[in-house]
Amino acid sequence: MSKQSHNFTALAVEGVRTLQPYAPGKPISELQREYGVSDIVKLASNENPLGSSPRALDACRAALQELELYPDGNGFALKQALADKYAVDSACITLGNGSNDILEFVARVFLSPRYNAVFSRHAFAVYPLVSQAVGATLHVAAANSADAAMPYGHNLDNMRALVDADTRVIFIANPNNPTGTWLDADSLESFIRDVPVNVIIVLDEAYVEYVREKDYPNSLAWIDKHPNLVITRTFSKVYGLAGLRIGYSISHPDIADLLNRVRQPFNTNTLAQVAATAALADPEHIDRSVEANASGMQQITTAFERMGLEYIPSVGNFVSFKTALPEAQVYESMLREGIIIRPIGNYDLADFLRVTIGTEQQNERFLKALMKITEAGS
């Protein structure tokens, strides 16, 4: 092999050259290696602290005997279970290796250097990643102000103002990650009605199961009325299947057909399919998870108020907060306490950190460590 240097970056397509890869939450094993810390609590990636459904785990164990076989490339059983649950035609469903996979399908099908994508500031980091990777222009709307009813959340008026003749995709997270803010049914549907039908609206509902607000939209009822709507959901959050990477979208069947054309063969594996199918049949686990999250959210936000800390009210399974100390200092100090949370300065939220709602014991440990760190730094 030649030892001369090569500028492979120059060979990459334009959109990829300046792309910054997604930075996931620090894994437990990495913290163990780097710091020699044990008894670690991970509250960085919005995982379900109650774990996976027992039915999902049983389904995985049963499927282990057939791992030499390729998975069902169409995901028939899972798609049928989703179709039955949501009363939609299975032709409306696309399965993804996580809902991130669906976001990439949308970008590959509908975006190019000729077109632009619209999304909000402080929105999920994957929207600009998938859009820029295919060369699309990014139109980033200013978010709500810090003192708005939904601080730092999506401002639909600002998003609408950025839609032009070259817009092909709008990404909306409801609730949004990392702010936890959300959009009510009337406001959101009014926005969707105003958008031209040749613009695809991706409604990312990764945290939908946690939302208890009465005026939160039932977006599935809009599919027939708004054929340019693509709803994405995941089994990584409340269903506790993040390690298996399985998600889906529900859309007009013509859009689903296009998404499935770019979907890689066997993009969802056997264990993911059987676990997700079984998890759909375990509503008790979902109920327990949602109740535990509500209780944990109250536990943490009450403590934040007692400590005088600024936080963004959230309807997800996480909450973003701010201390008087620099974000990096708090993050590093928490790691040394064996607690992994998530700094979110990369979301343009300087000095904010995001913590996943854990079990009561995990939340208490986080709060004690946070109090220790903030008092030492004051």
The reply to whether 308 falls in a domain is yes
For residues 83 and 71, give the distance between their C-alpha atoms in angstroms, rounded to a whole number.
Answer: 19
pLDDT in tens, 41-57: 999 999 999 999 999 99
User: With 70 as the cut, is the pLDDT of residue 149 above it?
Assistant: yes
Is 58 inside a domain boundary? yes
Say what angle helices 327-336 and 360-377 make with each other, to 10 degrees: 120
H/E stretch holding 312: strand 310-312
Same-domain check for residues 290 and 335: yes
Assign 225 to helix, strand or coil.
coil
Q: How many structural domains is the chain composed of?
A: 2
Residue 22's pLDDT is 66
Residue 193: DSSP 8-state? H
Kindly state the average pLDDT of the residues 146-171.
97
Considering the domain architecture, whether residues 127 and 218 belong to the same structural domain is answered as yes
Which domain, by its residues, includes 171?
Answer: 54-281
Query: Is the same domain home to 246 and 337?
Result: no
Q: Mean pLDDT over all residues of the chain?
A: 94
CATH number at residue 273: 3.40.640.10
Q: Do residues 275 and 319 share a domain?
A: no
Claim to verify: residue 220 and residue 318 sit in the same structural domain: no
Tell me 149's DSSP state: S
Indicate the pLDDT class of residue 15, thresholds 50, 70 and 90: confident
Q: Is 4 contained in some domain?
A: no
Q: Are residues 219 and 268 in the same domain?
A: yes
For residue 2, pLDDT beyond 90:
no
Of 281, 311, 339, which closes a domain? 281
* Rounded (5°) CA angle 45-351-44: 10
Q: How many CB atoms lie within 10 A of CB 348?
A: 13
Predicted confidence at residue 377, as pLDDT, reads 67
In a shared domain, residues 91 and 218: yes
Domain-ending residue, one of 213, 247, 281:
281
User: Would residue 47 count as lying in a domain?
Assistant: no
Q: Is residue 84 part of a domain?
A: yes
CA dihedral 38, 41, 42, 48 (to 10 degrees): 140
Q: What's this model's pTM, rounded to 2 decimal places?
A: 0.94
296 and 315 part of one domain: yes
Contact assessment for residue 177 and residue 170, using Cβ atoms and an 8 Å cutoff: no
Query: Binning pLDDT at 50, 70 and 90, where does residue 20 land?
Result: confident
Instruction: Check whether residue 102 and residue 176 sit in a common domain.
Output: yes
**Which residues make Cβ contacts (< 8 Å) with residue 95, sequence separation at least 6?**
75, 78, 79, 246, 247, 248, 263, 267, 268, 273
* Same-domain check for residues 312 and 334: yes
Biggest CA-to-CA distance, the chain: 65
Q: Is 2 inside any structural domain?
A: no
- The predicted pLDDT at position 10 comes to 79
CA–CA–CA angle 195, 164, 108 (5° rounding) = 80
Helix ranges (H only) for 64-215 are 76-86, 99-110, 126-133, 156-161, 185-194
Q: Quote the pLDDT of residue 190.
A: 98
For residue 179, being part of any structural domain is answered with yes
Which residues have C-beta within 8 Å of that of residue 373, sequence separation ≥ 6?
325, 330, 333, 334, 337
Tokens 């004051």 identify what position? 378
Same domain (yes/no): 271, 288: no
Residue 17 is assigned to a structural domain of this protein:
yes
Is the predicted pLDDT of residue 145 greater than 90, yes or no? yes
CATH code at position 20: 3.90.1150.10
| Stretch 163-174: mean pLDDT | 98
Range 80-108 burial, b when 16+ CB lie within 10 A, else e: ebbbeebebebebbbbbbbbbbbbbbbbb
**Tens digit of each residue's pLDDT (9 = 90 or more) over 61-84:** 999 999 999 999 999 999 999 999
Give the domain-ending residue among 226, 259, 281. 281
Which pLDDT value is given to residue 104? Answer: 97
Shared domain check, 265 and 226: yes
